[in-house]
Chains A and B, each alone.
Chain A
C-alpha cells in the first residue's frame, strides 16, 4: 500500500500559508481579550509580524522547490515570486491600515484576521497546480474580500459594495466552475499538468475551447478586465481604501498568477482572440471612463481596469517574453498602486470624506510630502521613465511587438496617452489650484510613512534597476513553460477493501 503520510518537505512547501494562517488565528484569539484601542495597536503589530514572517517563510520555501501533497502544490520560481509579492503587499496594506482603523473607528480583530486568511488564499492560488485547490484558494480570498469590502459599517455604500461584489463574484465563480467541469470532461483530470498532457496527446476536443472561455470569464472578473469589470468602480468606491489597495493589487496578482498557470502551463487552445478582445476593451473602456470621474477612488478603479488591459496584452504575446513581462507588470503595478491608495486612505479622513478630485486642490502647498509621493505614484502609473511603470509598459509592449501584435500595441500606446491626461489632472489639481475650504491634513504617522517609503522605493527601484526582477521573472517563465521537467509522482490510488 502506498504511503499517504505527508513528509516534512511537504510542509515546508506550504510554510508561508501555515505561518499566515497561524498569525490569523492568533489575532482572532487575542481579539476578545483587548479593548478597541488596544486591539488596534496590538493586533496590527501581530498582523504585520505575521505578514513579515510569511515573507520570510516564502524565501525559505524557495530552497525546496518541487511538488507537495500529491501534485496539489508546486513550489517553483513562479510561485515564490508571487508569494513574496503578495506577502509584501499584505505587509504594506497592514501598515496603511494601522492609522486608517483608528481614524475610522473600526474594530480591528476580524479585519486583520480576514486580511491574513485572505492572504493564505492568495498565496495558495499562485502555487496550487490542481484546479480543486485553485478553486478553494480563490474562494478563500474572495470571501474574505467580500466581507472586508463591507467593513465601513456606518456607510450604506459599503455594505452595498459588499453585496454587489458578492453577487457578481459568485456569478463569475459559477462560470469558472463550469469551465473547470468542461475541462474535466474534455481531459478526465483536474490536475494542470495532467490536463496539458492529455490535451497534447489526444488533440483538443471542442469542449476544451468552451471550457477555456468559461474559465476566462471567471478569472477575468477577478482581475477586473472588460467586459467583466462593471463591479469595479462601485466596489472600490464603497470599500475601505486600504482594502481597495489589497484588492486591486494582491487579489489581482493572485488571479493573474492563476491565469498565467491556466493559460500557459496548460497551453490552452483558442486563448488568443479571447485575450486580444478583452485586453483592447479593458484598455479603451477603462481609460475613457476614467476621464470623466470626479471621485479619486472611482478614477483609480477605472485606471485599474485599464492596467488589467495592459497586462493582458502580455498574455496575448508569445509565452517567453509575455509571461515575464506580465510578472514584472504585476510587481510594479502593485508597488505604485498600493502607494497611491495609501495616500488616498490617509487623505480621506474620518468617514472617508475627502475623496473627490476638488478636495485635492492645493494639496501641494498644504502637505508637500504627501503631494510629492502621490505625484511619484501617478507618474509611474502614466509610465514616465525612472519609475517602475515605465519599464512595465516597455516590456509588455516590446513583447507584444516581438510577437507581431502591431494593432494591440498601437491601441495600448494610444490608451497610455489618454491615460496620461487624467493622472496629470490630479497632479495639476494638487499643484496649480488654490485650496478650497479648510481641509486639515493630518501629520503622516510613522506606520504610514514606512508604507509610503517602501512603495516609493519599490517603484523607483523597479524603474532604475529592473534587471534583477526581470531576470527572476524570465527564469520563472522558462520553468512555467516546461511543466513536464518535474515528472509527476504517480498519485497513490486508494486501495479498495484493504481497510
Chain B
C-alpha cells in the first residue's frame, strides 16, 4: 500500500507548481490557473489528512474550499474582463502589476 506521506508530498509538489506558475507566468489567466493548482494541492492534503485522522471534517473543509474557489473564479474572471476592456492586454507587465 502507498503511505499517506506520498499523497502529502504530491500535494506539496502541486502547491509548489502553483507557486512557480504564479511567480513565473505573465498571462493573467494562467496566473489565476496557477492559484487553482495551489488550491488543489491544499485539497489533496486535506483529504489525505482526513483519511489519516478518520475525520470527515477534512472532507467537509474541501467542499467549502471548492465553494470559495468557484466564487473566486467568478469574481476573478469578471475582473480580468474589466481590465482587458480598458487595456486590451492580458500581460502583467503592461498592466503594470507585480513589480517583483
- B2 in contact (CB, < 8 A): no
Contact A150 B38 (CB under 8 A): no
- A472 in contact (CB, < 8 A): no
Count contacts on A: residues with CB < 8 A to the other chain: 34
Given known A-B contacts A132-B61, A178-B41, A163 and B79 have beta carbons under 8 A apart: yes
Assembly CA distance A171 to B49 (angstroms) = 22
Q: How far is the CB of A182 from chain B (nearest CB, A)?
A: 7
CB 8 Å contact bits of A169-208 with B (1 = contact, 0 = none): 0110110011011101100111000000000000000000
Given known A-B contacts A178-B45, A181-B42, A166 and B95 have beta carbons under 8 A apart: no
Assembly CA distance A160 to B86 (angstroms) = 9
Assembly CA distance A160 to B67 (angstroms) = 25
Q: How far is the CB of A144 from chain B (nearest CB, A)?
A: 9
Contact A162 B58 (CB under 8 A): no
Task: List chain B residues, Cβ under 8 A from A139.
Answer: 68, 71-72
Task: List chain B residues, Cβ under 8 A from A185.
Answer: 8, 45, 48-49, 52-53
Secondary structure class of chain B's binding surface, majority of residues: helix
- With both beta carbons as reference points, the residue of chain B lying nearest to A169 in the complex is identified as B72
Contact A177 B65 (CB under 8 A): yes
Contact B75 A143 (CB under 8 A): yes
Q: Which of B18, B22, B95 contacts A163 (CB 8 A)?
A: B95
Contact B86 A159 (CB under 8 A): yes
Identify the interface centre among B18, B46, B55: most chain A CB within 10 Å of its CB. Answer: B46
Contact residues of B between 1 and 39, Cβ < 8 Å to A: 8, 11, 15, 18, 22, 28, 31-32, 35, 38-39
Task: List chain A residues, Cβ under 8 A from B67.
Answer: 136
5 cross-chain pairs, A with B, having the tightest CB-CB distances, nearest first: A188-B53, A185-B49, A174-B38, A156-B86, A181-B45
Chain B residues engaging chain A, CB cutoff 8 angstroms: 8, 11, 15, 18, 22, 28, 31-32, 35, 38-39, 41-42, 45-46, 48-49, 52-53, 55, 57-58, 60-61, 64-65, 67-68, 71-72, 75-76, 79-80, 82-83, 86-87, 95-100
